[in-house]
């Protein structure tokens, strides 16, 4: 079996529903939901989900319980545990510290709690290595919070915190609006990846490349732009592709119409990722099965993808 490397995985989209239920009770949060089953359903994307924005509503409930340090530590540990048990040997987990400051934590304290959880996970499961990517958020009122995220990333960059990203509603808040944030990322020489070419087109990816990134989250819009695809190839840019998630957010009308096969065959460095294990009801193993069954990827081709992922990882000893 091929080695398993996961480069694009959101913490808040990958929580155990039972944990969210337990944390809500522990923290005395009055949920409008009355059972573990209802929590599970709420966290899972509905079959008729129509947009990225609707998809992102899946994160409201998890974020309610992620405002305390012990909860952040716990869920990070549990995700490392889930990945290790699934045989993943290297994973980069991402989250936005600014979404966990409603209970009085600073972004730095949020990051410290997640780092503790990741370290405890790696101690319990020595077969896995985990990095944390700090996400800025697309928006028009949070520039100070984004700049703080970059500062925190600079402060904690090391053997766990490994890069900066930007996530959120790409069509509402275009990538070009975040130049100031990524100027700072570049000035500090922080490793980065950028969600782009998911809900917006090739121009969003071009902007991301102009910020200096060598990794792009999703990037499926490149299929509409041969020149851009060539640029990705020439510049050794790695795409973190998440097939099931792209179907759920209607980036593609069906799984079968996903361009991952065409991108790979053209020579783009494509990797396979889960994005959100709970929200999309998936994991790396399921995504790989889709690549085999729907797109006919061979073991050798999958090994090539894992090689791309390994080369693009942020934590290099
Ligand atoms: Zn993502």
| pLDDT tens profile 177-232 | 999 999 999 999 999 999 999 999 999 999 999 999 999 999 999 999 999 999 99
Other CB atoms within a 10 A radius of the CB of residue 295 amount to 17
> How high is the pLDDT of residue 2?
73
Question: Residue 1: its pLDDT value, please?
Answer: 60
Distance 295 CA to ligand 1 centre (A): 22
Say whether 267 sits in a helix, a strand or coil: coil
In a domain, 132, yes or no: yes
SS3 call for 103: coil
Q: Is residue 317 situated within a structural domain?
A: no
In total, how many domains does the chain have? 1
- Output the CA 262–ligand 1 centroid distance in Å: 21
Q: How confident is the model at residue 97, as a pLDDT?
A: 98
Q: Which of 271, 301, 290, 288 is nearest to 86 (CA)?
A: 288
- What are the catalytic residues? 198
Ligand 1 centre to CA of 10 (Å) is 6
**Which residue ranges of the chain lie beneath pLDDT 70?**
1
CATH number, domain containing residue 88: 3.20.20.140
Give the CA count within 13 Å in the CB-facing half-sphere of 130: 32
Within-domain flag for 38: yes
Task: Evaluate whether 291 touches 297 at the Cβ level (below 8 Å).
Answer: yes
Specify if 291 maps to a domain: yes
Q: Answer yes or no: is 240 within a domain.
A: yes
Q: Using the mean position of ligand 1's atoms as its centre, give its distance from the Cα of residue 9 in Å.
A: 7
pTM of the full structure: 0.97
Quote the domain boundaries for residue 37: 5-312
């Amino acid at each position: 079996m091929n080695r398993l490397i996961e480069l694009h995985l959101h913490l808040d989209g990958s929580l155990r529903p039972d944990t969210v239920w337990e944390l809500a009770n522990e923290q005395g949060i009055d949920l409008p939901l009355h059972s573990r089953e209802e929590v599970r359903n709420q966290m899972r994307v509905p079959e008729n989900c129509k947009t990225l924005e609707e998809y992102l509503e899946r994160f409201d409930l998890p974020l309610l319980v992620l405002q305390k340090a012990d909860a952040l530590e716990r869920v990070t540990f549990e995700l490392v545990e889930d990945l290790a048990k699934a045989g993943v040997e290297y994973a980069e987990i991402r989250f936005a510290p600014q979404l966990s400051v409603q209970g009085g934590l600073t972004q730095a304290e949020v990051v410290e709690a997640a780092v503790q959880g990741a370290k405890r996970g790696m101690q319990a499961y020595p077969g896995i290595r985990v990095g944390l990517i700090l996400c800025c958020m697309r928006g028009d009122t949070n520039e100070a919070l984004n700049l703080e995220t970059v500062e925190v990333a600079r402060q904690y960059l090391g053997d766990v915190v490994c890069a900066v990203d930007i996530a959120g509603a790409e069509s509402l808040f275009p990538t070009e609006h975040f130049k100031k944030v990524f100027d700072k990322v570049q000035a500090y020489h922080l490793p980065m990846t950028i969600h782009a070419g998911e809900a917006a087109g090739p121009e969003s990816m071009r902007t991301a490349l102009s910020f200096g990134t060598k990794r792009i989250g999703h990037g499926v819009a490149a299929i509409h732009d041969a020149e851009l695809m060539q640029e990705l190839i020439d510049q050794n840019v790695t795409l973190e592709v998440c097939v099931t998630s792209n179907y759920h957010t209607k980036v593609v009308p069906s799984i079968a119409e996903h361009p991952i096969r065409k991108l790979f065959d053209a020579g783009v460095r494509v990797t396979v990722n889960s994005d959100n294990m709970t929200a999309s009801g998936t994991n790396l193993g399921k995504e790989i099965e889709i690549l085999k069954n729907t797109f006919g990827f061979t073991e050798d081709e999958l090994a090539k993808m894992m090689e791309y992922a390994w080369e693009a990882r942020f934590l290099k000893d």
